[in-house]
A and B are shown apart, each in its own frame.
Chain A
Amino acid sequence: MSVTIPARTRVVKVQSPLVAWLDRHKEALTKWTLIAVVIAYVGFLILSPITALAFGALERGIGASLESLNHPDVFTAFWNTVWISLVVVTIHAIFGTLVAWVFVRHRFPGRDLINGLVDMPFAVSPVVAGYMLLLLFGRNGLLAPVVESLGIRIAFAMPGIVLATLFVTLPFMIRELIPVLEAFDTRQEQAAATLGANGWQTFWRVTFPALRWGLIYGVTLTFARALGEFGAVLVIGGGVQGRTETATLFIYRALDERQYIGAYSASLALGLFSLILVLGSDWLRGKKQ
């Protein structure tokens, strides 16, 4: 059935020049509107707080900022943060590689369960992580008699802080390495083995170079997270000034004591440090590609 449209109902559309122009440039308009919205959002959400921190810290000039950080307790706090992060990164680099390796290469019962557990620290609030360790090693803790008989203090001491940071940063290395290992072609290893390389040589010469970028990125993420850990370290370490205080705990105390310039300057220093770390590894990665 065909429908014929009577001639008189055919309306000639008269468009205003503006509407016509909008219609013609619709695609470009959508594009630039969306881009503008995203840039405005990112600018507001991410860049403006960062800028505010820089201004806040340098409000009274660089001299005053440096002056506020020039205190033995501050040095101790930053030094604690750096060495704890280094220890944590080293342990995770070794065990993370091992765990990822076992995980990708072997099938064993409970593999799925462990896969889920690796992500657990991601779901556990840092405060809860610290609290768990406190329940284990604190006064009347489950494992407290064991460690006490060994003469080690964990709660409110450095070992506890290291443990807490280890817990919180656990997923990063493994999650970074698993996809790299999965994508890795095992025939290269087999070829090396056929050519007479022993296990260690095969790992060092063939597998390790393939893992290198995953490792670098995993180390960076772990390091950045370890530098900034606060909740877990606060609960288990207690933040004793000049002793178990880390950089983040110093910032917290300085805010509490209304030493704003010190708190802001330390925040800026810590933020810049981990920023440089992450941007540096991004840059390395970009150069490789």
Chain B
Amino acid sequence: MLIIPLLVILQDGLSEGVGELWRQVTLPMAWHALKLTLWTSAIMTVINTIMGTLTAFVLVRYDFPGKRILNGIIDLPLAIPTLVTGVMLVILFGPQEALGAWLKEQFDFSVIFAPPGIILALLFLTFPFVVRSVQPVLMELDRTQERAAATLGAEGWTIFHRIILPPLTLPIVTGALLSFARAIGEFGSIVIVAGNIPFISQTAAVYVFGEVESENRLGASAVSIVMVAIAFSLLMFADYLRKRSKGKTT
């Protein structure tokens, strides 16, 4: 169920040799799609890591009205089909809609059929990953060290990055890796938000879809293999980090 499909795609991609696989991947259209996927995912990961950590911090440390509602909202992206996420963003930022038209007119800034839309869609669907990875660790953090630091005159920011941040590094990094791995393969929301415009807004997943439709097996397999290899090694790396830290603490 898991291994056979992987082998088939490997065999198909390598059927003409590694050189041909490389040639298919570096075709201008495929190469651009892969690059677009990687840089939009990277920007998303940076924003998501910062905002996810901040959200987890606010949820764990502060009490405020509406906290439970906010905590519930974090999981919404897991419940909403990604295609529907795409539809939502098109309604909000589409060129025919009020907000989208205004942005276009005032700032010449397009969200839909452009990279910002891809980043927004990815941010939406990966939002829970960092938050839910950091939250439990932050909850169990012993606060005596922070109090000691505060007694010794450390300021808020110093306490945060010297005492609170180090134990959170691992969950933050694994959350970020998960987000990135998830983003590389995203299709449903992106095909709606970004469309299928080569060299502008066509991501790797959308490119593969196009090649499958036009029966270019070699091209589809080659780009698929690259995508799976990147995402899978990221997941394995996250797993390795998790295991290594477990070995250290117990």
Chain A residues engaging chain B, CB cutoff 8 angstroms: 26-27, 30-31, 34-35, 37-39, 41-42, 45-50, 52-53, 55-56, 115-136, 142, 166-167, 170, 221, 224, 227-231, 234-235, 248, 251-252, 255, 263-264, 267, 270-271, 274-275, 277-279, 282
A131 and B91 within 8 A (CB): no
A and B contact pairs by CB, cutoff 8 A, 23 listed: A34-B57, A35-B64, A38-B51, A38-B58, A42-B55, A42-B73, A46-B77, A50-B76, A56-B91, A123-B181, A125-B205, A127-B224, A132-B224, A135-B8, A224-B78, A224-B79, A230-B83, A231-B188, A231-B191, A248-B188, A252-B83, A271-B80, A271-B84
Chain B residues closer than 8 Å to A166, beta-carbon distance: 1
Chain A residues closer than 8 Å to B197, beta-carbon distance: none
A264 and B83 within 8 A (CB): no
Beta-carbon contacts under 8 Å, B57-71 to A: 57-59, 62, 64, 66, 70
Chain B residues closer than 8 Å to A224, beta-carbon distance: 78-79
Contact residue among B80, B91, B209 (Cβ-Cβ distance under 8 Å from A274): B80
Q: A277 to B76, alpha carbons, bound, how many Å? A: 11
Q: A113 to B97, alpha carbons, bound, how many Å? A: 49
Q: Which of B137-145, B165-173, B225-233 contacts A (4 or more CB under 8 A)?
A: B225-233
B227 and A125 within 8 A (CB): yes
With CB as the reference atom, state the residue of chain A lying closest to B233. A123
B163 interface residue, CB < 8 Å from A? no
B81 and A274 within 8 A (CB): yes
B9 and A135 within 8 A (CB): yes
Given A228-B188, A274-B79, also A123-B58 (CB < 8 A):
no
Given A41-B55, A278-B79, also A131-B4 (CB < 8 A):
no
A126 and B187 within 8 A (CB): yes
How big is the B interface, by class?
35 or more
B5 and A129 within 8 A (CB): yes
User: Could you tell me the distance in whole angstroms from the C-beta of A280 to the nearest C-beta in chain B?
Assistant: 10
Chain A residues closer than 8 Å to B120, beta-carbon distance: 45
Q: A133 to B204, alpha carbons, bound, how many Å? A: 19
> Per-residue 0/1 for B209-227: is the Cβ within 8 Å of any A Cβ (1 yes, 0 no)?
1001000010011001001
Q: How many A-B residue pairs have CB under 8 A?
A: 208
With CB as the reference atom, state the residue of chain B lying closest to A278. B79
Contact residue among A34, A48, A282 (Cβ-Cβ distance under 8 Å from B62): A34
> Per-residue 0/1 for B2-40: is the Cβ within 8 Å of any A Cβ (1 yes, 0 no)?
111110110010000000000000000000000000000
Q: A6 to B106, alpha carbons, bound, how many Å? A: 60
User: Could you tell me the distance in whole angstroms from the C-beta of B180 to the nearest C-beta in chain A?
Assistant: 10
User: Could you tell me the distance in whole angstroms from the C-beta of A164 to the nearest C-beta in chain B?
Assistant: 10
B232 and A120 within 8 A (CB): yes
B224 and A125 within 8 A (CB): yes
Chain B residues closer than 8 Å to A46, beta-carbon distance: 73, 76-77, 124, 127
Chain A residues closer than 8 Å to B114, beta-carbon distance: none
Given A26-B156, A49-B88, A248-B81, also A167-B5 (CB < 8 A):
yes
User: Could you tell me the distance in whole angstroms from the C-beta of B73 to the nearest C-beta in chain A?
Assistant: 6
B185 interface residue, CB < 8 Å from A? yes
Closest 4 CB pairs of A and B: A228-B81, A125-B185, A49-B88, A132-B5
B134 interface residue, CB < 8 Å from A? no
A270 and B231 within 8 A (CB): no
B135 interface residue, CB < 8 Å from A? no
With CB as the reference atom, state the residue of chain B lying closest to A263. B87
Contact residue among B54, B58, B127, B224 (Cβ-Cβ distance under 8 Å from A131): B224
A127 and B187 within 8 A (CB): yes
Chain A residues closer than 8 Å to B221, beta-carbon distance: 131, 135
A47 and B81 within 8 A (CB): no
Q: A56 to B186, alpha carbons, bound, how many Å? A: 24
Chain A residues closer than 8 Å to B64, beta-carbon distance: 35
A53 and B187 within 8 A (CB): no
A277 and B212 within 8 A (CB): no
Chain B residues closer than 8 Å to A230, beta-carbon distance: 81-83, 187-188
